Chains A and B, each alone.
Chain A
Amino acid sequence: QGLKPIVSTESPALIFGTTTKLASDLPATDSFLGKNKVPDLQKLFQKADGLPVHLKRGVPDKLLYRTTMALTIGGTIYCLVALYMASQPRNQ
């Protein structure tokens, strides 16, 4: 719409103010088991692109969603057929 995004794309202020001591604040352990990617991910997931949270990451989310849908909907149809067949009387 040409409007500025409602949500700021800068790293948002800490929700709980300045008294929070972030785990990443400790310099000595900064590189222990990887660096902090949370601010980048916060920017990504707060992009004003109108996508719902379960599809926010794009292609990998869509693939997983479609796979789950195929399995559950396909499975439900298979289930109804199997239950229908199981409910048929067996001839002696």
Chain B
Amino acid sequence: MAHQAHSYHMVDPSPWPIFGAAAALLTTSGLIMWFHHNSSQLLALGLLSMLLVMLQWWRDIVRESTFQGHHTPTVQKGLRYGMILFITSEAFFFLGFFWAFFHSSLAPTPELGGQWPPTGIKPLNPLEVPLLNTAILLASGVTVTWAHHSITEGNRKQAIHALTLTILLGFYFTALQAMEYYEAPFSIADGVYGSTFFVATGFHGLHVIIGSSFLSICLLRLIKFHFTSNHHFGFEAAAWYWHFVDIIWLFLYMTIYWWGA
């Protein structure tokens, strides 16, 4: 049997890409059935199969790297490029929603009362819960960096503490934001103010949940000794994503919450 004469990873044949594509089909057509035909089975099936595919695909990547040793420096470089490109694409995703916000708020139409916030809208006070949320995310950026340093220094206990703290801060943010959503005097249906506010902050909240989940998996792997002091790219990718989520919040806070109030 020949050994490879290169440092790339030629993966074993895998069913997850095609099952993932099928899951995307079920999810999108499930949305159609839910929106237009009052039926949610297909959507539930789609989301469930998406979850199963994600779990098994990423489980396999952990097996290929930590247990089979396929992640050479060359492979890791490719993964770094990949994560950077993905986060960049997410930045453009949010850029669209910021564009929509400024489109409506820089030149408010007569229908809105010629002002921003529009007539009748009572915006949230940026110096109350939103400011606390800003402090929480900034603190979590510090704790995740602390966790990274602990990993590179080989200090397992400290790394576990710092990463746990980061995740708890993420949950605290999500809980506070959920409460704000419930208590807000305006809804998504309240004109373009409601639309821009809830779509932009809503997608951000979804990304906080995704980031917290990613960090939680990293915590599990950290506890299970998967990371070494100079090979822990999964954690670095999670930390990059988390910093990105923090930066998006800072832009949201400065533009929608503060300037827009």
Contacts and interface: CB of A to CB of B under 8 A. Distances in A.
Contacts of A45: 63, 67-68
Interface in A24-62: 24-26, 29, 32-34, 36-38, 41-42, 44-46, 52-54, 56
B228 A20 contact: yes
Contact of B42 (A26, A34, A75): A75
Interface stretch (B79-87, B153-161, B248-256): B153-161
Contact of B48 (A46, A71, A86): A71
B interface secondary structure, majority:
helix
B12 interface: yes
Q: How large is the interface on A (under 10, 10 to 19, 20 to 34, 35 or more residues)?
A: 35 or more
Interface string A4-26: 00100000101110011111111
Contact of B229 (A22, A68, A69, A82): A22
B69 A12 contact: yes
A16 B56 contact: no
B158 to A, nearest CB: 9
Nearest to A48: B1
- Which residue of B63, B66, B227 has the most chain A CB atoms within 10 A of its CB atom? B63
A68 B23 CA distance: 10
A70 B1 CA distance: 35
B13 interface: yes
B157 A32 contact: yes
A54 B15 contact: yes
Interface stretch (B25-33, B88-96, B141-149): B25-33
A52 B156 contact: no
Interface stretch (B110-118, B129-137, B207-215, B218-226): B218-226
B119 interface: no
A8 B12 CA distance: 19
A86 B63 CA distance: 43
For the complex, would chain A's binding face be called helix, strand, loop or mixed by DSSP majority?
helix
Nearest to A19: B230
Nearest to A71: B49
A34 B48 contact: no
Contact of A72 (B22, B36, B227): B22
B53 interface: yes
B166 to A, nearest CB: 17
B154 A72 contact: no
Nearest to A23: B156
B111 to A, nearest CB: 36
Nearest to B228: A20
Interface in B1-37: 1, 3, 11-16, 19, 22-23, 25-26, 29-30, 32-33, 36-37
A29 B160 CA distance: 11
B180 interface: no
A75 B154 contact: no
B190 interface: no
Interface of B: 1, 3, 11-16, 19, 22-23, 25-26, 29-30, 32-33, 36-37, 39, 41-42, 45-46, 48-49, 52-53, 56, 60, 63-64, 66-69, 72, 151, 153-157, 159-160, 222-231
6 contacts: A26-B155, A37-B224, A38-B226, A41-B66, A68-B53, A71-B48
